[in-house]
Amino acid sequence: MSSGAGTFKFQDVVKRFRAWGDFVGAVPYGSGHINDTFKVTFNMAGAPVHYLLQRINHTIFKDPLAVMDNIVRVTNHVRARLTAEGVGDVTRHSLCVVFTRDAQPCHQDGDGNWWRMYLFVEGAKTYDTIQNEKQAFEAARAYARFQNLLADLPAPRLHETIPDFHNTPIRLKALQSAIATDGCNRAVETRSEIAFVERRAAQCGHLLERHAKGEIPERITHNDTKLNNVMLDEATGKGVCVVDLDTVMPGLALYDFGDMVRSATAAAPEDERDLGKVRMRIEMFEPIARGYLSEARFINPAEREELVFSGRLITLMIGMRFLTDYLQGDVYFKTKRPGQNLDRCRVQFKMVESMEAQADAMERILARA
Ligand code: GN1
Ligand code: MG
């Protein structure tokens, strides 16, 4: 296979890892916007065995070894806690890193690509758009449980794999600077999106201000809790495994809750072109709140006050990030067609409006949850 970062042969990559058996093949997998993901099949003494192989986007994750250091610590800790709780099939409930033959958590090839491998979690699926309330409940519960399991991760502090990842004021500045530069001449066609953000600029610092006052604590958070980053069991529908751990690091639990609301209440895909289909489905908010609060008993009163706001804020921020990328010429998020980042941005802003309009109803649901 060839790519911008050079050509590679799967056979050469996979033989670096402690995967047993004969390599059979690899196919692209999932719908992530950042890394390249493949489902790899091996023939292990006659039995087909799958692994997940990923090429880490090292333009975005500039220190892949720090990313892997976090992931190894986090997954070992989760596995140890689940084992202590008596969970039998722990290798389905926490990602398992497959180390290289020289005992490293990832492999750098001759072209500078960084690779890692996980056991493939069988019998579970992810969803880009939610289908029913049970999925909303199970996804939210799985993320809360993940936060819970990491609450007692021993020191040292995890690496910040992307500095200021969820710093909304800094994301706003990045957007403003992209507007000022306007390197692709796209600011004029995004005038109404830019105005949309300007009207909400004063909200951007709210959670970090409460954090600075000591009201909202730093916790270990996932930071990318979209619906398709949690695997649900194909048979029972229950949350099985939280994946995409590159951004697990110190953060605010509210951004995790907010991103669940953004992705799991969305009535349409993240890049839907028909904005008439885009809205926040309040009927999905109730199970998200219930699923999250049933496990996240650690959250304090200040965090509880901001649950509804957090959904709007992260949706606004992710919309700002798509807009910034569009203005900069689509250099960050993978795109499959021209204008996709602008469509993604518009969907996010439509979601923000829909959440604003339903804020009181969301608060009433929370009061009951
Ligand atoms: C990216 O990798 P993926 O597709 O799960 C992004 C998230 C965004 C998300 C929007 C490292 O996540 O922050 O919320 O797209 N990840 C990174 O869909 O930037
Ligand atoms: Mg992801």
HSE (side-chain half, CA atoms, 13 Å) at 86: 0
Distance 35 CA to ligand 2 centre (A): 8
Decide if 231 contacts 126 (C-beta within 8 A). Answer: yes
Enumerate residues 6+ apart whose C-beta is below 8 A from 15: 23
Nearest-atom index, ligand 1, CA of 57: 11
Distance 33 CA to ligand 1 centre (A): 6
Tell me, what's the pLDDT at 8?
Answer: 81
Q: Which residues, listed in sequence order, are joined to residue 105 by a DSSP beta bridge?
A: none
Nearest-atom index, ligand 1, CA of 162: 11
Read out DSSP for 324-339? Answer: HHHHTTS-SS--SSTT
Nearest-atom index, ligand 1, CA of 314: 14
Tell me, what's the pLDDT at 39?
Answer: 98
- The residue type at 182: D
Decide if 176 contacts 302 (C-beta within 8 A). Answer: no
- 3-state secondary structure (DSSP) of residue 204: coil
- What ligand is nearest to the CA atom of residue 31? 1
Enumerate residues 6+ apart whose C-beta is below 8 A from 190: 323, 326, 327, 342, 345
Residue 266, Cβ density class (10 Å: 0-12 exposed, 13-18 middle, ≥19 buried) = buried
Q: Which residues in the chain are classed under CATH 3.30.200.20?
A: 10-122
Distance 216 CA to ligand 1 centre (A): 24
Calculated CA dihedral for residues 332, 207, 263, 53, nearest 10 degrees: 50
- The CATH architecture to which 133-368 belongs is Alpha-Beta Complex (3.90)
Nearest-atom index, ligand 1, CA of 322: 10
Q: Which residues in the chain are classed under CATH 3.90.1200.10?
A: 133-368
- Atom 1 (ligand 1) nearest CA: 33
Find the residues whose C-beta lies inside 6 A of ligand 1: 32-34, 60, 224, 226, 229, 244, 247, 270, 318
Tell me, what's the pLDDT at 40?
Answer: 98
- What ligand is nearest to the CA atom of residue 162? 1
Enumerate residues 6+ apart whose C-beta is below 8 A from 356: 312
Distance 317 CA to ligand 1 centre (A): 12
Read out DSSP for 301-329? Answer: HHHHHTHHHHHHHHHHHHHHHHHHHHHTT
| Torsion sign, CA atoms 57, 58, 60, 61 | positive
- The residue type at 70: N
- What ligand is nearest to the CA atom of residue 318? 1
- What ligand is nearest to the CA atom of residue 262? 1
| pLDDT string in tens for the chain (369-residue length) | 444 445 689 999 999 999 999 999 999 999 999 999 999 999 999 999 999 999 999 999 999 999 999 999 999 999 999 999 999 999 999 999 999 999 999 999 999 999 999 999 999 999 998 899 999 999 999 999 999 999 999 999 999 999 999 999 999 999 999 999 999 999 999 999 999 999 999 999 999 999 999 999 999 999 999 999 999 999 999 999 999 999 999 999 999 999 999 999 999 999 999 999 999 999 999 999 999 999 998 999 999 999 999 999 999 999 999 999 999 999 999 999 999 999 999 999 999 999 999 999 999 999 998
Measured N-to-C along each axis, helices 307-327 and 359-368 cross at an angle, to the nearest 10 degrees, of 140
Tell me, what's the pLDDT at 246?
Answer: 98
Nearest-atom index, ligand 1, CA of 34: 2
User: What is the third-level CATH fold of 10-122?
Assistant: Phosphorylase Kinase; domain 1 (3.30.200)
Tell me, what's the pLDDT at 6?
Answer: 52
Nearest-atom index, ligand 1, CA of 61: 11
Tell me, what's the pLDDT at 2?
Answer: 42
Distance 244 CA to ligand 2 centre (A): 5
CA 39/CA 37 separation, integer angstroms: 7
Single pTM value for the model: 0.96
Ligand 1 pocket test, pick from 330, 333, 344, 347 with the greatest ligand atom count within 8 Å of Cβ, gives: 333
Tell me, what's the pLDDT at 4?
Answer: 43
Ligand 1 pocket test, pick from 29, 31, 33, 317 with the greatest ligand atom count within 8 Å of Cβ, gives: 33
